[in-house]
Amino acid sequence: MIELLMRILVYGATLSGIYALIASGFTLIFGVSRIMNFAHGAFFILGAYFGIALIHGIGLNPYLSTIISILMVGLLAAAMYKSIISPVREHEVMVIIVTLAFALIVEQVILLTFGEHGISFPSVIEGVVIVGTVLIPSMRLFVLAVAIIALIMLWTFIGKTRLGKEITAASQDAEAAMLIGLDVGRLLIVTVFISAILAALGGVLYAQVYAANPFIILKSLIFAFAIVILGGLGSVKGSIIASFIVGYILTAMIVLYGARWSELVALLIIIAILVLRPAGLLGAKEL
Amino acid sequence: MSKRKISRREYLKYAAAGVIVAAGAIGGYAAWQSTRKPLEKDEIIIGVLAPMATRQGSVQRDAAALAIEEINAAGGILGVPVKMVVGDDKLDPDAAVSEFRRLVTVENADVLTGGYSSGIMAATMEPMAELKTVFLADASSPAHPAKVAEDYEKYKYWFRITQNNGASFAFDMADMIDMLREKGVPVDKIYIIRDEHVWADDVEKFFNPLLTERNVEVVKNVKIPRGYTEYEPLIIEAHDLGAQVILPIVALSGTGDVLAKHWATLKLPVLLAGHDLAALDLGFWEKTEGACNYYIFIADGGVVQTAPPTAMCANFIENYKYKYGNPPEAHQGYGAYDAVYLYKMVIEEATKAGEANPLDSDTVVKYLEKTATLENPVELTRNIAFYPPGDENKWDHDLAWGDKYVRNLISEWIDGKWYEIWPEDKANAELKLPPWFK
């Protein structure tokens, strides 16, 4: 029994950490701009594909390719915001349509370029660690550590830096932020950049443990969306908590009851929680 | 009005002139007949309908194009040039149905080849029946030949040429267990990971009795949804339950690469051997960063590219490499190439037999049934034969399974290459067990 619990603890933590990276970025954009960015799943997997292309195309090492690929995704996201979201920002439905269209275009481009089957991101760490009698791939522990460090950095950035505080101010009241002289437009671009970087990092880590494939775009978007709703739209803290809830439900279902219904049950539990707490775990507007 | 009498001399003159004109006409007709093509067409049109964004679709287009190019270079079919028209089913049944109609009614395709997804195949069999167009098809569901069996007149235009009925994987996987036992691997407990889909049910229907016959216990049977990736807990569970083999029956989950990666990461003493569509990819080694080493799997379609079963297959692979820069990207290529050559053969047979319209679909069906038989399979890139109408398993017009025909070969990824390891007489490598398997 202890072995089973250990397995759920470790395997659930890896999945949760990756979910937390993508969901926190998704909710960050919503918190600041009230934009539902349906292209977020594309940023998630583009991080992995850019990295794989840099490794196989020009022979970069996995560490350097990770840094360059997530920066590339961040810049792409900022450019996308400026060119196609910003002009229609006031129309919520239009924002959903253009971001969803962008995600579908990315999916098709990946399909045509890399094919429909998964591609692995070369693992930076190999082997397994044995804790008691539980076998844990070292890569899982590495991913968990990187995800936690990235989330702590995000937390520190939002809470401790001037730019982070300005983003918080803009998320609480954009008009008031403008009145006190903050450049909300610039803050939005910075927020989109940071969100995309978090998603791309999640994608790179995901492709190290699993593999990148174009259909992850939609799946990751669905899970990110569900987690963000569960955590409370706009709440980074809520999203992180919700990520761990969802990650652990999924892993516990697989370990205890089998893989068949794991994702379905996880989504049903999310719905059940939302029936009890319609605003999500931590409600809106709290970064 | 007075009647003028024709004299005998005049009568003979006119009669002689008439005979000369008639003889000229007959001679002219005979001369025209001798130069006329036996088929009343300026071109024969072959349609390829498949999901073109996938390698399984594009390879069919490219392989059919190569076959058509070769046939045209050799004078076409009975002197008539062959043209290809292409439709993209986009893995969508609505698109597939409308593309089928377009290819037949707008592009005037005489015959179609292609397909990939079983669900889409079921949808396209309807316009096929309505338009009475022969379809030399891919996909693997037993539901397709069952339709032919249940309503022959309606669905007789369908023939599966690319790969065997999916249920036949059961026979090959049973052989795989026999082979492992023969090689000294004690297989008495297996852990099945399978798609949550009806096609895997069809395989299990045949597989379970074969496991019982062999006293093999299934320690757990795990159904996974599409896109499933959490394999590590399953692999650990398989090991804990004492399985010697994790046996995947997966295609639609689409994540065989992750399964191989997790299995290679954990390195537990349990083999990975079964059916996984993802492994049938020439790029699988690179995509898994070599994690697929020692992965034993069934190769659909009867060809492992490193061990071509016929001379024509070896030529096809070489010509394909020459034209496109790489070997056929998926086994569907062999089916499409064979489809074009088999169609040519059938048209020629029908013409030789004096059929009034050799291109008529009913005639083509008749000659397909007569030409590629269980008694006399046709050697193309594989040995093609179709089960006749009235087959006991309801596999009517399905590609015949077996050593004499086409079977799913047992193969393995070994040190970067995909080898055939069974049947022994055709194998080009020995089974190699992972070093961590004891």
Helix (H), strand (E), coil (C) string for B354-365: CCCCCCCHHHHH
Q: Based on the domain organization, do B106 and B79 belong to the same domain?
A: yes
- pLDDT, residue B19, reads 62
Q: What is the number of CB-based contacts under 8 A between chain A and chain B? A: 96
Q: What pLDDT digit, counting tens, does each position of B184-223 carry?
A: 999 999 999 999 887 899 899 999 999 999 999 999 999 9
Q: Based on the domain organization, do B298 and B337 belong to the same domain?
A: no
Q: Based on the domain organization, do B14 and B60 belong to the same domain?
A: no
Tell me which residues of chain A have a C-beta less than 8 Å from any C-beta of chain B: 7, 11, 15, 56, 108, 111-112, 115-120, 122-123, 126, 128, 135, 137, 139-140, 210-211, 213, 215-216, 219, 250-251, 254-255, 258-260, 262-264
Which residue out of B117, B240, B287, B293 would a mutagenesis test of the A interface target, given it has the greatest number of A Cβ atoms within 10 Å? B287
- pLDDT, residue B33, reads 46
Contact between residue B231 and residue B263 where contact means Cβ atoms under 8 Å apart: yes
Q: Residue A250 sits in which domain range?
A: 2-276
Rounded to the nearest angstrom, the minimum Cα separation between B79 and chain A is 38
Contact A263 B225 (CB under 8 A): yes
Search chain A and give the residue with CA nearest B259. Answer: A210
**CB nearest to B266's CB, from A15, A135, A250:** A135
Q: What is the CATH number of the domain that holds A25?
A: 1.10.3470
CB atoms within 10 A of CB A237: 17
State the Cα–Cα distance between residues B263 and A275, nearest whole angstrom: 40
- pLDDT, residue B1, reads 43
Q: Is the peptide bond before B309 cis (omega within 30 degrees of 0)?
A: no
Q: Based on the domain organization, do B171 and B297 belong to the same domain?
A: yes
Q: Based on the domain organization, do B184 and B290 belong to the same domain?
A: yes
Rounded to the nearest angstrom, the minimum Cα separation between B288 and chain A is 5
Q: Based on the domain organization, do B269 and B416 belong to the same domain?
A: yes
Residue B391 in domain:
no
Q: Provide, as residue numbers in chain A, all residues whose Cβ is less than 8 Å from the Cβ of B229.
A: 210-211
Contact A251 B257 (CB under 8 A): no
Q: Which residues of chain A have pLDDT under 70?
A: 283-287
Residue A245 in domain:
yes
Work out how many domains chain B is built from and give that number.
3
Contact between residue A198 and residue A146 where contact means Cβ atoms under 8 Å apart: no
Residue B146 in domain:
yes
Q: What pLDDT digit, counting tens, does each position of A51-73 carry?
A: 999 999 999 999 999 999 999 99
Residue A287 in domain:
no
Residue B428 in domain:
no
- pLDDT, residue A286, reads 45
Residue B74 in domain:
yes
Q: pTM for the full model?
A: 0.82
Local confidence pLDDT in tens for the 438 residues of chain B: 444 556 666 666 666 666 666 666 555 555 544 444 567 789 999 999 999 988 899 999 999 999 999 999 999 999 999 999 999 999 899 999 999 999 999 999 999 999 998 889 999 999 999 999 999 999 989 999 999 999 999 999 999 999 999 889 999 999 999 999 999 999 999 999 999 887 899 899 999 999 999 999 999 999 998 888 889 989 999 999 999 999 999 988 889 999 999 999 999 999 999 999 899 988 899 989 899 999 999 999 999 999 999 999 999 999 999 999 999 999 999 999 999 999 999 999 999 999 999 999 999 999 999 999 999 999 999 999 999 999 999 999 999 999 999 999 999 999 999 999 998 888 999 999 999 997
φ and ψ at A174, to 5 degrees?
Answer: -65, -40
Q: Based on the domain organization, do B154 and B174 belong to the same domain?
A: no
Q: What is the CATH number of the domain that holds B188?
A: 3.40.50.2300
Residue A253 in domain:
yes
Q: Based on the domain organization, do B137 and B25 belong to the same domain?
A: no
Contact between residue B233 and residue A140 where contact means Cβ atoms under 8 Å apart: no
Q: Based on the domain organization, do B62 and B157 belong to the same domain?
A: yes
**CB nearest to A260's CB, from B225, B237, B265:** B225
Closest CA to B186 of B140, B242, B132: B242
Residue A284 in domain:
no
Which residue out of B116, B259, B265 would a mutagenesis test of the A interface target, given it has the greatest number of A Cβ atoms within 10 Å? B265
Residue B201 in domain:
yes
Contact between residue A265 and residue A249 where contact means Cβ atoms under 8 Å apart: yes
- pLDDT, residue B2, reads 46
Contacts of A19 (CB under 8 A, 6+ apart): A202, A223, A224, A227, A243, A246, A247
- pLDDT, residue B254, reads 83
Q: Provide, as residue numbers in chain A, all residues whose Cβ is less than 8 Å from the Cβ of B50.
A: none
Rounded to the nearest angstrom, the minimum Cα separation between A122 and chain B is 7
DSSP β-bridge partners for residue A135: A130
Residue B320 in domain:
no
Residue A30 in domain:
yes
Residue A170 has, within 13 A of its CA and on its CB side, a CA count of 26
Closest CA to B369 of B156, B137, B163, B166: B156
Pairing relationship of beta strands B134-137 and B245-250 according to DSSP bridges? unpaired
- pLDDT, residue A255, reads 81
Q: Based on the domain organization, do B97 and B180 belong to the same domain?
A: no
Work out how many domains chain A is built from and give that number.
1
**CB nearest to A254's CB, from B230, B255, B258:** B230
- pLDDT, residue B192, reads 97
- pLDDT, residue A134, reads 82
Q: What is the side-by-side order of every strand in the sheet holding B44-50?
A: B82-88, B44-50, B111-114, B134-137, B158-160
Q: Residue B24 sits in which domain range?
A: 1-35
ipTM more than 0.85? no
**CB nearest to B236's CB, from A135, A259, A264:** A135
Q: Strand (E) positions, B252-387?
A: 271-276, 296-299, 378-379, 383-384
Residue B83 in domain:
yes
Q: Based on the domain organization, do B128 and B51 belong to the same domain?
A: yes
Q: Based on the domain organization, do B79 and B102 belong to the same domain?
A: yes
Search chain A and give the residue with CA nearest B223. Answer: A260
- pLDDT, residue B143, reads 93
Residue B321 in domain:
no
Search chain B and give the residue with CA nearest A9. Answer: B233
Contact A120 B266 (CB under 8 A): no
Which residue out of A142, A210, A256 would a mutagenesis test of the B interface target, given it has the greatest number of B Cβ atoms within 10 Å? A210
- pLDDT, residue B26, reads 58
Contact B287 A15 (CB under 8 A): no
Residue B302 has, within 13 A of its CA and on its CB side, a CA count of 29
Residue A196 in domain:
yes
Residue A143 in domain:
yes
Instruction: Write out A165-208 in H/E/C secondary structure.
Output: HHHHHHHHCHHHHHHCCCCHHHHHHHHHHHHHHHHHHHHHHHHH
Contact B258 A251 (CB under 8 A): no
